[in-house]
Amino acid sequence: MRSLFHEELDFISDQLVRMSRMAAEALERATRSLLEADLELAEQVITDDEEIDAVRRDLENRAIDVLARQQPVATDLRQLVTALRMCADLERSGDLARHVAKLARMRYPLVAVPDDLRPIVKEMSVLAEEMIVRAGEVVAAHDPSGAAELQSRDDGMDRLHREVFRLLLDHDTERGRQEVVDMTLLGRYYERYADHAVSVAIRVVFLVTGSWHDEQVPLSDAGRVHRAEP
């Protein structure tokens, strides 16, 4: 029989998985609002971000409440502190989806993304959504091998990010400056979103290995950013 404490940990883990799905849905809708200049959808994504924030608040309150009441040590303590960190990553992913939606809203009725960049924006979004869902699965399964998988997918994100810069700077194509500014920001949003997915998965490694720090896990590189240099 599971103790009350472990039931509470299970609940917290379920909420992390839920947040990862909410963040994936937010990005899918944000990208759709961006590519279709769908103002209503963009507004919805912006408003719905409050729901992710609310799940985070509830999760944090519970985790801290459990910390105070049960005074866990060792692995149990590590689980709770790790959950607090993961929910910060997942909430931030939701924020980045909201930024995409805000950019869509700002350019409406225009489409912020030039035609030749539509496929790559779509591709970045789908990859980022898959990564955050996978990060949620890795959390649920306590699967440390997921971190390496997520990092390998993140290399794919970095390649796409570099390709965005290449396309933006290609002088055979006419570009407006606003277009260059917007695409630079969008590229960064998708890349950072993916970084948070990697970060969540890496935290599972600490949980299982007992190390607290991504910096000490050789396969970790989630802290590294700006890899797809402009």
Can you tell me the distance from the alpha carbon of 196 to that of 30, in angstroms, rounded to the nearest whole number? 17
Say how many C-beta atoms besides its own lie within 10 A of residue 44's C-beta. 16
Which among 118, 145, 146, 148 is positioned nearest to 133, based on CA atoms? Answer: 146
Task: Tell me the window of 13-21, 30-38, 61-69, 122-130 that interacts with its own copies (CB under 8 A).
Answer: 61-69
**Using CB under 8 A, which of the segments 2-10, 24-32, 139-147, 164-172 binds its own copies?**
164-172
Between CA 177 and CA 175 the distance in angstroms is 6
Closer to its own copies by Cβ: residue 145 or 216 = 216
The footprint of its own copies on this chain (CB under 8 A) covers a number of residues equal to 43
The mark string for 185-214 relative to its own copies (x by CB under 8 A, - otherwise) is: x--x-----------------------xx-
Q: What angle do CA 179, 93, 85 make, to 5 degrees?
A: 145
Which residue, 219, 214, 194, is CA-closest to 20?
Answer: 194
The answer to the question of residue 175 lying near its own copies (CB under 8 A) is yes
Token readout for 88 is: 């910060």
Contact pick of 14, 28, 43, 60 for its own copies (by CB under 8 A)? 60
Task: Pick the binder of its own copies from 36, 141, 209, 223 (CB under 8 A).
Answer: 223
**Binding mask of the shown chain, residues 84 to 123, with x at each position contacting its own copies by CB under 8 A:** xx--x------x---x--xx--x-----------------
124 sits near its own copies (criterion: CB under 8 A): no
- Whole-number minimum distance, CB 169 to its own copies, in Å? 5
Cβ nearer to its own copies, comparing 25 with 195: 195
> Where would I find the H helices in the chain?
4-35, 39-70, 74-107, 118-141, 145-169, 177-209
Q: How far apart are CA 161 and CA 228, in angstroms?
A: 6
Q: Among candidates 25, 56, 23, 19, which has minimal Cα distance to 41?
A: 25
- Chain residues that interact with its own copies, rule: CB under 8 A: 53, 57, 60-61, 64, 67-68, 71, 73-74, 77-78, 81, 84-85, 88, 95, 99, 102-103, 106, 165, 168-169, 171, 175, 177-178, 180-182, 184-185, 188, 212-213, 215-216, 223, 225-226, 229-230
